[in-house]
Copies of this chain bind each other. A is one copy, B any other.
Amino acid sequence: MHETSKRYIQQRKSIGFVPTMGALHKGHLSLFRRARDENDIVVASIFVNPIQFGPNEDYDRYPRDIEGDIAKLERESVDVLFLPDVKSIYPATFKTFVYVTDLSDKLCGAFRPNHFRGVTTVVNKLFNVVKPHKAYFGQKDYQQYLIIKRMVEDLNIDIEIILCPTIREEDGLAMSSRNSYLSSEERIAAKIIYKTLLEATNLIRSNLQPSDIKQRMLQMLLEENHVKEVQYAGIYDPESLDELDEIKRQCLVAIAIKIGETRLIDNFLVDV
């Protein structure tokens, strides 16, 4: 991959990069299309990154479908698939981590210790190997995007980080490889996330206070029987991820819940 990318760079071709964990869905495809539009060469990686999963999380059962994924990459005219194995990414001698303080401990980070350290470490490695000019991330994982953007700025990495809109099912559920874990009843219940984000948006536009909006969000989510746990729900500053006392400019409405055993997240950026 090093050599492939260096050859493209010597040929003055621009490289667009979409790092993924595979089990590709329409959300990923939208990233490939955006990268296709904006670059000479599109590189995708598929790597289920063990160090971003906690010990009781779903690393082992995370969906894998490499045959199906390759067919999709071909259909989208992705030029290069980088498909490293775990041992080549994390040899026995591996000891180095990249982490973004503060932002990595908030929201999802409070419930997934070391998750974002795993993300920034592997994305840093992938960036060094693929050497892209632009890299594409979905808004569904807004905190991940924000942390990667912070890493890139802080470490003077010469890559443009591009946030792409969340792609949704017809009923509004954000596309996610983890949606495949849901039973058909849970799948119906999962609509509550999108409905709650829509309601919160309306309440923001009606100038309700964030604390009142949060109460309404919690109420809606907890009224849904399949919601086992609300990890967070509320209105946040889109740069600091701090919970807002008052809404002055663009804000992040974000939710993380468990439906049965499946953890789902989603968010809107709302302009006021």
Contacts and interface: CB of A to CB of B under 8 A. Distances in A.
A124 interface: yes
Contacts of A96: 98-101, 120, 150-151, 154-155
A156 B125 contact: yes
Contacts of A155: 96, 98, 121, 124-125, 128
Contacts of A153: 93
A252 interface: no
A129 B156 contact: yes
A65 interface: no
Interface in A76-100: 93-100
Interface string A134-159: 00000000000000001101111110
Count copies of this chain in the complex: 2
A95 B2 contact: no
Contacts of A99: 96-97, 99
A63 to B, nearest CB: 26
B158 A128 contact: yes
A101 B96 CA distance: 6
B95 A150 contact: yes
Q: Size band of the A side of the interface?
A: 20 to 34
Nearest to A157: B128
Contact of A150 (B6, B93, B129, B158): B93
A44 interface: no
Given A2-B156, A6-B158, A124-B155, 13 more contacts: A93-B150, A94-B154, A95-B100, A95-B101, A95-B150, A96-B101, A96-B151, A96-B155, A97-B98, A98-B98, A121-B155, A128-B157, A128-B158
15 contacts: A6-B158, A93-B150, A93-B154, A95-B101, A95-B102, A95-B150, A96-B99, A96-B100, A97-B98, A97-B99, A98-B98, A99-B99, A125-B155, A125-B156, A128-B158
A250 to B, nearest CB: 18
